[in-house]
Chains A and B, each alone.
Chain A
Amino acid sequence: MEILVCVKRVPDTSENEIEVNSDGSDIERDDLVYSVNEWDNYAVEEAIQIRDKVGGCVTVVTIGDEEDEEVLRRQMAMGADQGLLLSDEAFMGSDGRGIASILKAAVEKGKYDLILTGAQADDGAGQVGGMLAAMLDLPYASLVNAIEVMDGGRIKVGREIAGGNQEMNEMTLPCVLSIQTGINEPRYVGIRGIRKVASVEIPVMGAADLGISADSVGEAGAKVKRLDYFVPVLGEGAEMLEGSTDEIIEKLVEILKSKGGIK
């Protein structure tokens, strides 16, 4: 099975507090720790497990610049067979549709049975997988939390739906799936694994290689544009307890008692 997994390098929210910069034009990027998008990590693990079961090859692809290449190496250290970096000035500032159309061009350069994306990335959009599938005219399922390869070019796919329930589908290959967290337990990637793939050549493709016209993607092609960042103010907010830890705990115990929080 030829599997393509789309991955994105994002600020790691478990390592950073995300803050708006002074003029609201961006988040504060100094000292940010980046990692692979959590959902994509599950997607790569799933791809590796499928390959190990039925054979084939896992390719990880990202759209970005030289810095973003590190997530490809990380996922290759995890077990992906090869990486592909899609990089071009013209790609900068793409909206979700732009990203999906760049990925579409890359998919059409290869021959994949299964294309995986994460359910969503750092901006919480959850759009690229569904768009890519529609552009390729392939069957699609989102929020996938179980995959079982069957005979005859079909797979059984579980989707997460409300209330912890699961929707089971049968799909034909090739198809596009967006992976939800929790589908598997992603393996640990050590520094030694990353060193092993440090010198592997990762091919780079630009707009011309992919046959993409520069004005259809990037800032120029974007219908959705971000104007600014700001810190939301919702309602009154909590009453913040202050003082020494002892004082805070004393106050909190009183409050909990009065609200029926201690039986």
Chain B
Amino acid sequence: MARQIFAYILHKNGKADDTALELAAAAGKIDADAAVTAIVTGTGGDLEAVCTEVATAYTQVWKLDSAELAYPNAEAVRKALVGVIPAGSIVLVSHEHLGMDLAPGLAIKLDTAYLPDAVDIAGLEGDLLKAVRQEYTGQVSTHVTCDISSGAVITVRPGGFAPEASAKGGQVVDKSGELGDLSSGRKFMEVVQAEAGDVDITQSEILVAVGRGIEDQDNLEIIDELAETMGGDVACSRPIVDAKWLDKSRQVGTSGLSVKPKVYLALGISGSFQHVGGIKGNPFIVAVNKNAKAPIFQIADVGVVADILEFVPELTEKIGEMKG
């Protein structure tokens, strides 16, 4: 029998997330012959719209409609999926905030293997799936094997698989009748929106972004000075916000803001996918890092291996001189 692959679709405001197509691409890489079914949970017209949308990329779409799934509470979604997914299946979930909440427990409840954050698929031999992962925030990669003989839940790195345009013209099947009790000891209350900051970095054309390489709060001064001299704004990676050195509204990344400047300076930033995921619109990226092997150099346009504590003041001075 052909292998069954399921893709759990993220969506918002009646639109499927970009990762919906990426999961289809990942499924094709795992097993080009497999039957691939999209599963969409939610309720009402939004759910309906998403099902119709993803049917273009999947041969089949399972719709799970329940008021309890209106907001994707991972505990309820997991119960819903466990109720409908047959044993031995492969389930693909995007490795982001909901996926990380949902997927590990899903693997336990479906009694399958769990392969987290696959960035690529390297092949399938019998029941051994070979995949590529990253460790140490992307500093090294690994090949791993995953025994999928009794199925697998696999989370897929957002942006890791290039979506293919396809016209599958899939069928939407309403599976809502198979839903059992979805209640759990975790009740969703509300979403608290992020507060706006003093500067809106999503509108900045020039961003001078600083990371953990700055070492000390007092050193931030040199970043302020460079940004001011260049006529840009200061942004940062997450550890700077965690340390409360800068406001959350300055954080670039998947749990911060998406920015679309013309020029992006990454100073003492290693280049984790969660950070880089917030840099949109293909800006010109300059990276300065003391580690020549830092992953940021793989995505930057121009790189300098240097200590930012020495390099940045000199750069500021030179630009200052030039501007006169």
Binding site for B on A (CB under 8 A): 11, 13-14, 17-20, 27, 96-97, 100, 119, 122-131, 133-135, 138-143, 156-172, 175, 181-182, 185, 223-235, 237-241, 245, 248-250, 252-253, 255-256, 259-263
Contact = CB atoms under 8 A, between A and B. Distances in A.
Given A96-B116, A237-B297, A261-B206, A250 B232 contact: no
Nearest to B262: A260
B98 A161 contact: yes
B187 A170 contact: yes
B143 A170 contact: no
A238 B297 contact: yes
Given A138-B185, A181-B239, A227-B143, A162 B301 contact: no
A19 B145 contact: no
5 contacts: A97-B113, A131-B114, A169-B189, A170-B186, A232-B141
Nearest to B143: A227
Interface stretch (B46-54, B61-69, B304-312): B304-312
Nearest to B138: A232
Contacts of B116: 96, 124-127
B18 interface: no
A200 B97 CA distance: 39
The B interface, classified by DSSP as helix, strand, loop or mixed, is mixed
The A interface, classified by DSSP as helix, strand, loop or mixed, is mixed
A103 to B, nearest CB: 13
B145 A225 contact: yes
Question: Most chain-B Cβ atoms within 10 A of its Cβ — which of A13, A125, A237?
Answer: A125
A175 B248 CA distance: 28
Given A134-B105, A234-B298, A256-B286, A124 B137 contact: yes
Contacts, number: 281
Contact of B101 (A141, A226, A245): A141
Given A96-B104, A237-B298, A260-B262, A175 B137 contact: no
Contacts of B84: none
A175 B263 CA distance: 45
Interface stretch (B27-35, B37-45, B164-172, B313-321): B313-321
Contact of B303 (A122, A226, A241): A241
A150 to B, nearest CB: 12
Question: Most chain-A Cβ atoms within 10 A of its Cβ — which of B73, B143, B186, B248?
Answer: B186
The 8 closest A-B pairs by CB, nearest first: A263-B231, A130-B104, A139-B185, A238-B303, A134-B105, A164-B194, A261-B263, A134-B108
A18 B272 CA distance: 14
B287 interface: yes
Contact of B257 (A164, A166, A229, A239): A164
Given A164-B248, A261-B206, A14 B212 contact: yes
A171 B73 CA distance: 12
Interface residues of B, number: 100
B295 A135 contact: no
Contact of B315 (A164, A167, A170, A253): A253
Contact of A256 (B95, B230, B249): B230
Question: Most chain-A Cβ atoms within 10 A of its Cβ — which of B147, B184, B185, B231?
Answer: B185
B134 A232 contact: yes
A97 B114 CA distance: 8
Nearest to A153: B185
Contact of A261 (B242, B284, B318): B284
B210 interface: no
Contacts of A157: 186
A123 B143 contact: no
Given A18-B136, A143-B97, A163-B255, 11 more contacts: A130-B100, A130-B102, A130-B108, A164-B256, A182-B241, A238-B299, A245-B314, A249-B314, A252-B286, A253-B322, A263-B231
Nearest to B249: A164
Interface string B209-248: 0001000000000000000001110000011011110001
A165 B194 contact: yes
A245 to B, nearest CB: 6
B13 interface: no
Given A138-B185, A228-B143, A234-B299, A253 B263 contact: no
A232 B113 contact: no
B146 interface: yes
Contacts of B144: 224-227
Contacts of A166: 191-192, 194
B319 A161 contact: no
A228 B254 CA distance: 28
Contact of A248 (B109, B191, B306): B306
B134 A124 contact: yes
B173 to A, nearest CB: 27
B75 interface: yes
Nearest to B145: A225
Interface in B268-294: 270, 284-287, 291-293
Given A140-B75, A229-B141, A162 B284 contact: no
Contacts of B256: 163-164
B103 interface: yes
A167 B101 CA distance: 12
A237 to B, nearest CB: 5
